[in-house]
C-alpha cells in the first residue's frame, strides 16, 4: 500500500509538472505527499533493518523481542520528553535523526544481549556466531561514532541550542555503550582463547599420565614373568574433555 501510494503521488507530480525540479517542489509543498513519502521511507527502513538483523543476528528469541519492545517504549518516551526543552522544527530531518537514534539504541541492545549469551554458554556454531557478532558490534560503534561526529559538527556550525544538542548527547552515550560492549566481547574472546589453551594443556597432561600408566603396567606384567601385552591397557584416545578440570577465568595467575 505504501509503495502504491508513493508511486501514485510521484507519477502525478511528474505528470503535472514539466521537469523534475518543479515536481520535487510540488511534492515538498504538499503535506499529504510528504506524509506518504515519509511513510514509504519508514517502511523501507524497517525492511532494511529487519534484513540486516536476520543477517547478523539471526532469529530473535521471544524474550529478546519482548525486552526490545519495553526498552524502545521507554526510549521513545524519554526522547519525547527531552524534546520539550529545546526549540526546533519537527521536520523530515528531525524524523531521520530520531529514527537513526532509535535504530542505534535497538542495535546496541541486541548486541549487548548476544554478548551476555556468549558469556553464559558457548554457541552452537562458533564461527558463524562470532563472525556475525563481531561485524554487528563494529558496525554499531562505527554508526554511533559517525552520527556523533555529524551532530557535533552541526551544533558547532549552527551555534545555537536546538534539538541537535540532544541528539549529540544521545549519540555520545550510545558511542560509549557500544564501545564498552565491543570491549566486553573482546574480553570474552580472550577468556575463550585462554580456556582453549588450558584445555590443550590438560589434555596433553592427561595423555602423558596415560602413557606413563601403560608403560608401568607393561613393565609390571613383564616382571611378573608373563608373556605378551596385558589386557585392558588405558588408551590415549579415551580422554574425555568434559571430565577435565579447566581453571578458566578464575585463576588469573596462570595466564
CA distance 188 to 129: 13
Which pLDDT score, from 0 to 100, does residue 255 have? 43
Task: Give the chain's domain count.
Answer: 2
Residues 218 and 114 in one domain: no
Write out the E strands in the chain: none
Residue 11 or 228, more confident: 11
Q: What pLDDT is recorded for position 237? A: 65
Q: Identify whether residues 169 and 59 lie together within a single domain.
A: yes
**Is the per-residue pLDDT at 240 higher than 70?**
no
As a whole number, mean pLDDT of residues 217-226 equals 71
Least confident of 85-99, 127-141, 144-158, 173-187: 85-99
Domain that holds residue 83: 39-194
The closest alpha carbon to 236, from 215, 199, 209, 202, belongs to: 209
Global pTM? 0.78
Same domain, 123 and 218: no
Look at residues 145, 172, 194 and tell me which one is the last residue of a structural domain. Answer: 194
**130 by DSSP, 3-state: which?**
helix
In the predicted structure, residue 148 carries a pLDDT above the cut 80:
yes
* 178 pLDDT more than 80: yes
pLDDT tens digits for range 127-139: 999 999 999 999 9
C-alpha 195 chain-centroid distance: 24
113 within 8 A of 66, measured Cβ to Cβ: no
Confidence (pLDDT) at 242: 60
Closest CA to 133 of 173, 176, 185, 183: 185
Choose the weakest-confidence range: 7-16, 56-65, 196-205: 7-16
Amino acid at each position: 500500500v505504501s509503495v502504491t501510494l508513493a508511486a501514485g503521488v510521484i507519477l502525478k507530480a511528474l505528470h503535472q509538472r514539466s521537469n523534475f525540479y518543479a515536481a520535487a517542489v510540488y511534492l515538498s509543498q504538499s503535506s499529504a505527499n510528504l506524509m506518504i513519502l515519509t511513510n514509504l521511507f519508514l517502511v523501507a527502513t524497517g525492511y532494511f533493518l529487519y534484513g540486516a538483523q536476520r543477517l547478523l543476528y539471526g532469529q530473535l528469541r521471544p524474550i529478546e523481542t519482548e525486552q526490545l519492545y519495553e526498552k524502545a517504549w521507554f526510549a521513545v518516551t524519554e526522547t519525547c520528553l527531552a524534546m520539550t526543552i529545546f526549540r526546533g522544527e519537527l521536520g523530515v530531518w528531525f524524523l531521520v535523526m530520531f529514527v537513526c537514534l532509535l535504530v542505534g539504541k535497538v542495535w546496541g541492545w541486541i548486541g549487548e544481549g548476544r554478548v551476555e549469551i556468549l558469556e553464559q554458554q558457548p554457541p552452537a556454531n562458533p564461527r558463524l556466531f562470532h563472525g556475525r557478532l563481531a561485524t554487528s558490534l563494529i558496525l554499531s560503534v562505527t554508526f554511533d561514532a559517525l552520527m556523533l561526529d555529524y551532530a557535533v559538527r552541526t551544533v558547532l556550525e549552527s551555534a545555537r541550542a536546538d534539538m541537535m544538542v540532544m541528539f549529540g548527547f544521545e549519540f555520545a552515550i550510545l558511542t560509549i555503550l557500544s564501545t564498552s560492549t565491543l570491549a566486553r566481547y573482546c574480553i570474552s574472546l580472550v577468556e575463550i582463547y585462554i580456556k582453549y589453551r588450558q584445555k590443550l594443556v590438560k589434555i596433553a597432561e592427561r595423555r602423558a599420565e596415560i602413557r606413563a600408566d601403560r608403560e608401568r603396567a607393561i613393565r609390571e606384567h613383564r616382571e611378573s614373568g608373563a608373556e605378551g601385552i596385558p589386557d585392558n591397557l588405558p588408551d590415549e584416545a579415551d580422554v574425555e574433555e568434559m571430565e577435565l578440570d579447566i581453571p578458566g577465568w578464575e585463576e588469573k595467575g596462570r595466564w
